Amino acid sequence: MNRDQTFFDRYSLVLGGLGAVTLALIVLAMKMSDLSQDVYTRNLDEYQAEVQSRIQPFGEVYLPGEEQEQMDAPTVETVAEPEPVATVQSGPQVYNGACNVCHGNGVAGAPVVGDADAWAARIAQGSDTLYDNAINGYAGAAGYMPAKGGNMSLSDEEVIAAVDFMVEESR
């Protein structure tokens, strides 16, 4: 076989291969352009709306008086507030913390807890009067009883528990 013939055979083989690759690339390019063409053949408004919804800001600020426009705007879920852990003090606890300072030994005319004579007439007034005087405070013949013993962080219930305890100890 002469050398020209060999060269020609190999050359056409390479050319053929390149042609096949070119054809494959053209077909691939057409497929891909079909896919991307999709975007432009669709309704432009619809397309823009979709883009808008994808790039919209995460939240919106509503000033007082402004209404929320879109119903599908992100809404803040209101999680139920956890109940504050009840740290209600018992009667004796409240008494020791807020009342004993006067009622323990009669400071400023306070009736001493455990002194049945000093308490008999007071107990006879009825619990409601005692609660009311302890919660709101009052100035009596013996002296001045400050509201909640001066500890306004006490709840009414805690003061009532303390009064019950004092009365119980003073019968």
| Contacting positions for ligand HEC (CB under 6 A) | 94, 98-99, 101-103, 107-111, 122, 125, 129-130, 133-134, 140-146, 148-150, 159, 162-163
At 94, which helix (H) or strand (E)? helix 91-94
Minimum distance from residue 119 beta carbon to ligand HEC (Å): 8
- For 74, half-sphere exposure in the C-beta direction (CA atoms, 13 angstrom radius) is 8
Looking at the Cβ atoms of 63 and 152, the one nearer to ligand HEC is 152
Helix axes 156-169, 116-124, angle to 10 degrees: 130
Minimum distance from residue 128 beta carbon to ligand HEC (Å): 10
Looking at the Cβ atoms of 73 and 108, the one nearer to ligand HEC is 108
Around Cβ 101, how many Cβ atoms within 10 Å? 14
Looking at the Cβ atoms of 48 and 129, the one nearer to ligand HEC is 129
Minimum distance from residue 69 beta carbon to ligand HEC (Å): 55
Of 165, 10, 168, the residue nearest 100 (C-alpha): 165
Torsion over CA of 163, 168, 169 and 171, rounded to 10 degrees?
120
Looking at the Cβ atoms of 63 and 141, the one nearer to ligand HEC is 141
Minimum distance from residue 168 beta carbon to ligand HEC (Å): 12
The Cα–Cα gap between 160 and 171 comes to 17
Looking at the Cβ atoms of 72 and 117, the one nearer to ligand HEC is 117
99 in Cβ contact with 148 (< 8 Å): no
Minimum distance from residue 143 beta carbon to ligand HEC (Å): 3
